[in-house]
Structures are given as structure tokens and as C-alpha cells.
Structure 1
Amino acid sequence: MDEQPVTSLAADPLTVAALDTERHVASAGWDQPARLFALVRTAALLAREPHLRDQLGPADRAARTFTAIEQEGLPATSSLETLLGRIAWPDEVDGCAFAIERIVVPPDAERDLPERPESAVEALASHPDRRDVRLLVAVLRDGSSICLLRQREHDSDDAVATGKDIAPGLVAALLATFED
């Protein structure tokens, strides 16, 4: 994983929006369903919805910032591909962010798994070296992307790994939601 310190990326508006969105998701704790957010340029949002100005601070209203708008009511599906394959964004949406929790295990933990999917999931979930992580991937129409990874065991110290190549498949799937 190509980790970069958050401070070196903090000037990038997409990274700022991703970090703010991840903090928002983290504030609700763990064991959450997947969450999807539209990213819109704050200036354009305020031009369309001026009544929102009072809800945003001066830094939020800066010219290059993005505002994350949660898309509630995601259909419950076990297939991430099916869920993302149904999404298309209107032109007013500049990007999106997707947060999902996963279990990570060492590669050798995947050897000799039971054949039944339910049993395999149970075996992985009870593995002594399992790690719970929250992944947030944010993309823009222009192809820009950032990935954030928070481990449950480091939740209290607010340590979030950042990088462009943490979840390339999810980046590609989210970018595909902007294709015509």
C-alpha cells in the first residue's frame, strides 16, 4: 500500500472531502452498512441552494471545496458490483465517495477454507489475525481518486492510511458510475 501522510495531501480538495466524509462515517461507530455520498462543488451547491450557506463554515464555502451529500436508502444487496452497476449520476454531481467495512486476513488464512461460502466467512471472521477496516474511496469525474483506510484497532488515535492504489477495483467501479 502506497501510504502518504495526510498532511501532504491536505491541500487537495478531493482529499479534504474524503477525510471529512470518513470522519463523518466514523462518528457513527463500526458495524455499519455501506454508505454512498455524492460530491458536489460547494460553490455550485450554494448557488442552487443558498439557504444552506448558514450550515457551512467559511472554510467549507471556499471556492474549490466539495460537499458530500449522503445517498440514503441504498438497496440491500450482497453484491457490490450489482449495487454500483445500478448507479448513474446527474451532471451536477462532480464525484462520489463510498464507505464500506471489510475483514482483512493474511493471505495464508485463505488456504484450506471450507467450500460452503457461509462456512468460509465464519472461518475468516473468527481467524485470530483478522483485522476490521473501513475503506472510503472518493473519485471525481475527471478520474482523480483517493482511498482512505481506517483499522478498527486504531480507531481512537484517528490514524487513517491514504493512497491512490489501496482499492483499484473499487476506484474503477466508482469511476464507471460517471460513464455515459
Structure 2
Amino acid sequence: MTEQPAAPMTAREGALRSAVLDLERHVASLGWDGPVFVFALVRTADALAQNPGLARELPAEAVRAAEEDAEHLTSIEQDGLPGAGTLEELLGQLAWPDAVDGAAIVVERMVVPPEAEQGMPADPQAAVEYLMNHPAREDVRMAAGVLRTGESWCALRARSHDSDDAVGGSPEAVPGLVAALRSTFA
């Protein structure tokens, strides 16, 4: 059985991929051990049509990109996020107005291979300490974006391979995060 080639990316998918990668690079420039970042995504051309004065506030390259690509996305960082104990709780409190075409989130997590759970202490505090000091522990930055129309893109960067050319990605690389973001449009 031969593997079928992937379908070519649509302009909308390409715009989302580009926006998510730009957001991941932006957050990477701030260093590791940062907070959760949430962004609204809007089609730049639509935003400029509704508010022409916005052209003075956007970078010139974003205005040019919108002239060439109607799907180009501008990200708007969300300040003053509601308090939440977990990422799921935070996303459960978000909803977007109709003018918002999509949303993205950038978050850091620690991952270990499944076999690391063998021998993990039952006490939650001791388990955290065990995992934090596990030799196979890896810090990962995950950026995920979704559009109201259903498209998604995820980008992943490992602290151990911290360079822009080592960022991996795919539409469903972090399916739980994609599903949680999609639920903010329900």
C-alpha cells in the first residue's frame, strides 16, 4: 500500500499556518518559562475594510500582505485574561464576537515518555517533583490556532532544540488543544 500525498494547502490553511508560526516565533523571542498567551485572529483585509485607520497601526508588511492575500490573518493578543486554575478552565471562559475569525494559544508544557509513569509516587506533590527531575523530561512550547471555519494548525518547539528551523507542525499535532480552542466558538 502506498501512502497518498497530502492534499495541497488552501490559502486559508496557509494563512493560519503562517499566523501560528509567527505567534510561536514571537513568544519564543520572549524566552522560556512564560505565561499562557491567547490571541484573537482576524482577516487583515476585512479589518482594514471596516476600519481604514487601522492601516496606520499595523506593520506595513501586514497591510501589504492583506493586499496580496485576502486570507492573511492579524493576531491580537488578549490582555486581562480571566483567572483560571487550569488551561481548560481558562478556555472554557472564552467566547469570541463574530468579527473574530479564529483564535490561537501558546502554552508551555513538560512531557515525559509513558514509561516515566512507572515508579511515579502516588502523592501529587512527590509526583510533580519526580517528573520535574526525570531524565527524559522535555519542555515543549505548543502553539495552536483554529479558525471559525474549522481549519487548525499547531506548531511545537522543544527546549532541547530551540531554534526556528526545528519547529514542527501539523493541523492536529495537539488534538486536545485544538478541540479546546474550537469549543470557544461553540
Same-fold call, TM > 0.5? yes
Report the secondary structure of 1:158's partner residue. helix
Equivalent runs, 1:30-49 vs 2, <5 Å: 30-49=32-51
Q: Match of 1:4?
A: none
Out of 118, 139, 145, the residue aligned to residue 138 of structure 1 is 145
Q: Deviation of residue 76 (structure 1)?
A: 4.2
Change (3 A) 1:75 1:19: same
Percent identity between the two aligned chains: 54
CA RMSD of aligned residues (A): 1.8
Moved more, 113-122 or 170-179: 113-122
Report the secondary structure of 1:20's partner residue. helix
List, as ranges, runs of 4+ consecutive aligned residues in structure 1 with deviation greater than 4 Å. Answer: 8-11
Paired AA for residue 71 in structure 1? Q
Moved more, 114-123 or 97-106: 114-123
Out of 124, 146, 164, the residue aligned to residue 171 of structure 2 is 164
Q: Residues of 2 paired with 1:155 and 1:171: CA distance?
A: 23
Q: Residues of 2 paired with 1:107 and 1:140: CA distance?
A: 32
Q: Residues of 1 paired with 2:9 and 2:86: CA distance?
A: 32
Structure 1: 5+ residue stretches without partners: 1-7
Residue 23 (1) aligns with residue 25 (2): yes
Structure 2: 5+ residue stretches without partners: 1-7
Paired AA for residue 73 in structure 1? G
TM-score (norm 1): 0.88
Equivalent runs, 1:1-180 vs 2, <5 Å: 12-54=14-56, 55-56=58-59, 57=61, 58-59=64-65, 61=67, 62-156=69-163, 158-179=165-186
Paired AA for residue 175 in structure 2? P
Any idea what the Cα deviations from partners look like across 1:49-98, whole Å, max 9, x if unmatched?
32331332122553220001000122343312111111110000000001
Change (3 A) 1:19 1:157: closer
Paired residues of 1:10 and 1:16 also in contact (CA < 8 A): no
